[in-house]
Chains A and B, each alone.
Chain A
Amino acid sequence: MSKPVPLSKLDEKEFIVPANSACQGCAGSIVARIVSKIIGKDMVRQEVACCGPAFGNITQPVFYGEVFEGAGAMMTGFARAFNKLGRDDIRVTGIIGDGGTIDIGFQGLSASAERNEDMLWVCYDNEAYMNTGGQRSSATTKYAETTTTPVGEFSRGKKERKKPLPILVGVHRVPYMATASVAYPEDFIGKLQYAKPVKGFRFIQVSAPCPTGWRFDPMYSVKVAKDMVLSGLWPLYEVVEGGLRITYKPKELKPVKDVLRSQGRFRHITDEEVDEIQADVDGFWARLLEKDGGPLF
Chain B
Amino acid sequence: MAKFEVMVGNKAVAYAAKLARVKFVSAFPITPQTTIVQYLAEMMANGELDADYVNMEGELSCQSSAMTAATTVRSFTATSGPGLLYMHHPMHMTTWARLPLVMAVVHRSTKGMQPDHMDALSQRDTGWLMFECQNSQELLDTGIMSFKIAEDERVRLPTIFMGDGYILSYTSEPVEIPAQEEVDAFLPPYKRPYPMFPEEAEEAMKLMSQMWNPFVDPQNVWKQQQEAAMNAKTVIKEVSSEFEKWFGRSYGNGLVEEYKCENVDAALVAMGTIASTAKTAIDQLQRDGKKVGLVAIKSFKPFPDDDFQRIGAEVKALGVIDRNVSTGTLGGITFTELRHSLYDLDERPVTLNFHAGLRGKEVRVEDLKRMAEKTLKAARGEKVTPLVEWA
Complex CA–CA separation, A87 to B92 (angstroms): 28
Is A175 at the interface (CB under 8 A from chain B)? no
Complex CA–CA separation, A150 to B198 (angstroms): 44
Say whether B68 contacts A61, CB under 8 Å: no
Say whether B64 contacts A74, CB under 8 Å: yes
Is B200 at the interface (CB under 8 A from chain A)? yes
Is A81 at the interface (CB under 8 A from chain B)? yes
Chain B contacts for A80, CB-based, 8 A = 24, 52, 54, 65, 69
Is B201 at the interface (CB under 8 A from chain A)? yes
Say whether B69 contacts A108, CB under 8 Å: no
Say whether A65 contacts B52, CB under 8 Å: no
- Determine how close the nearest CB of chain B comes to the CB of A172; give it in whole angstroms: 13
- Determine how close the nearest CB of chain B comes to the CB of A158; give it in whole angstroms: 28
Say whether B198 contacts A60, CB under 8 Å: yes
Complex CA–CA separation, A66 to B88 (angstroms): 12
Say whether B52 contacts A72, CB under 8 Å: no
B70-86 vs A, CB cutoff 8 Å, 1 = contact: the mask equals: 11110100000000000
Is A76 at the interface (CB under 8 A from chain B)? yes
Chain A contact residue count (CB 8 A cutoff): 36
Which one of B56, B68, B93 contacts A75 once the chains associate, using CB atoms below 8 Å?
B68
Say whether B57 contacts A108, CB under 8 Å: yes
User: Considering residues A44, A61, A70, which has the most beta carbons from chain B within 10 angstroms of its beta carbon?
Assistant: A61
Say whether B54 contacts A108, CB under 8 Å: no
- Determine how close the nearest CB of chain B comes to the CB of A214; give it in whole angstroms: 31
B171-203 vs A, CB cutoff 8 Å, 1 = contact: the mask equals: 000000000000000000000000111111110
Complex CA–CA separation, A24 to B66 (angstroms): 38
Is B96 at the interface (CB under 8 A from chain A)? yes
Is A279 at the interface (CB under 8 A from chain B)? no
Say whether A73 contacts B197, CB under 8 Å: no
Say whether B93 contacts A84, CB under 8 Å: no
Say whether A60 contacts B65, CB under 8 Å: no
Is B30 at the interface (CB under 8 A from chain A)? no
Is B204 at the interface (CB under 8 A from chain A)? yes
Say whether B65 contacts A69, CB under 8 Å: no
Which one of B24, B96, B201 contacts A81 once the chains associate, using CB atoms below 8 Å?
B24
User: Considering residues A43, A65, A73, A110, which has the most beta carbons from chain B within 10 angstroms of its beta carbon?
Assistant: A73
- Determine how close the nearest CB of chain B comes to the CB of A58; give it in whole angstroms: 9
Complex CA–CA separation, A62 to B205 (angstroms): 9
Is A266 at the interface (CB under 8 A from chain B)? no
Say whether B197 contacts A87, CB under 8 Å: yes
- Determine how close the nearest CB of chain B comes to the CB of A213; give it in whole angstroms: 26
Complex CA–CA separation, A114 to B61 (angstroms): 14
- Determine how close the nearest CB of chain B comes to the CB of A49; give it in whole angstroms: 11
CB-CB contacts below 8 Å: A97-151 with B = 107-108, 110-111, 114-115
CB-CB contacts below 8 Å: B198-238 with A = 198-202, 204-205
Say whether A59 contacts B71, CB under 8 Å: no
Which one of B55, B61, B75, B195 contacts A73 once the chains associate, using CB atoms below 8 Å?
B61
- Determine how close the nearest CB of chain A comes to the CB of B50; give it in whole angstroms: 9
Complex CA–CA separation, A82 to B93 (angstroms): 20
Is B67 at the interface (CB under 8 A from chain A)? yes
Chain A contacts for B198, CB-based, 8 A = 41-44, 60-61, 90
Is A78 at the interface (CB under 8 A from chain B)? yes
CB-CB contacts below 8 Å: A19-75 with B = 41-44, 46, 59-63, 65-67, 69-70, 72-75
Number of A-B contacts (CB under 8 A): 121
CB-CB contacts below 8 Å: B1-27 with A = 23-24, 26
Is B310 at the interface (CB under 8 A from chain A)? no
Known: A67-B93, A81-B52, A111-B57. A74 touches B68 (CB 8 A): yes
Which one of B55, B61, B75, B89 contacts A108 once the chains associate, using CB atoms below 8 Å?
B61
Say whether A60 contacts B201, CB under 8 Å: yes
Is A77 at the interface (CB under 8 A from chain B)? yes
Known: A70-B64, A73-B56. A81 touches B197 (CB 8 A): no
Chain B contacts for A73, CB-based, 8 A = 56, 60-65, 68
Is B90 at the interface (CB under 8 A from chain A)? yes
Say whether B204 contacts A61, CB under 8 Å: yes
Complex CA–CA separation, A83 to B204 (angstroms): 20
Chain A contacts for B63, CB-based, 8 A = 73
- Determine how close the nearest CB of chain A comes to the CB of B191; give it in whole angstroms: 13
Is A85 at the interface (CB under 8 A from chain B)? yes
Say whether B61 contacts A66, CB under 8 Å: no
Say whether A69 contacts B60, CB under 8 Å: yes
Say whether A111 contacts B69, CB under 8 Å: no
Which one of A43, A67, A107 contacts B57 once the chains associate, using CB atoms below 8 Å?
A107
Residue of A nearest to B96 (CB): A66
- Determine how close the nearest CB of chain B comes to the CB of A233; give it in whole angstroms: 32
Known: A63-B71, A77-B64. A84 touches B197 (CB 8 A): no
Which one of A62, A67, A110 contacts B90 once the chains associate, using CB atoms below 8 Å?
A67
Chain A contacts for B73, CB-based, 8 A = 81, 84-85
Is B58 at the interface (CB under 8 A from chain A)? yes
Say whether A85 contacts B196, CB under 8 Å: no
Chain A contacts for B89, CB-based, 8 A = 66-67, 69
Chain B contacts for A82, CB-based, 8 A = 72
Say whether B61 contacts A65, CB under 8 Å: no
Given A61-B197, A63-B71, A85-B72, list of 9 further CB < 8 A pairs? A44-B196, A65-B93, A66-B89, A72-B61, A73-B62, A73-B68, A82-B72, A84-B51, A110-B57
Please list 17 pairs of residues, one from A and one from B, whose beta carbons are closer than 8 Å in the complex, sorted by A's number: A60-B201, A61-B196, A63-B71, A63-B97, A65-B68, A66-B93, A67-B89, A74-B67, A76-B54, A77-B71, A81-B52, A82-B72, A84-B24, A107-B58, A107-B61, A108-B57, A115-B55
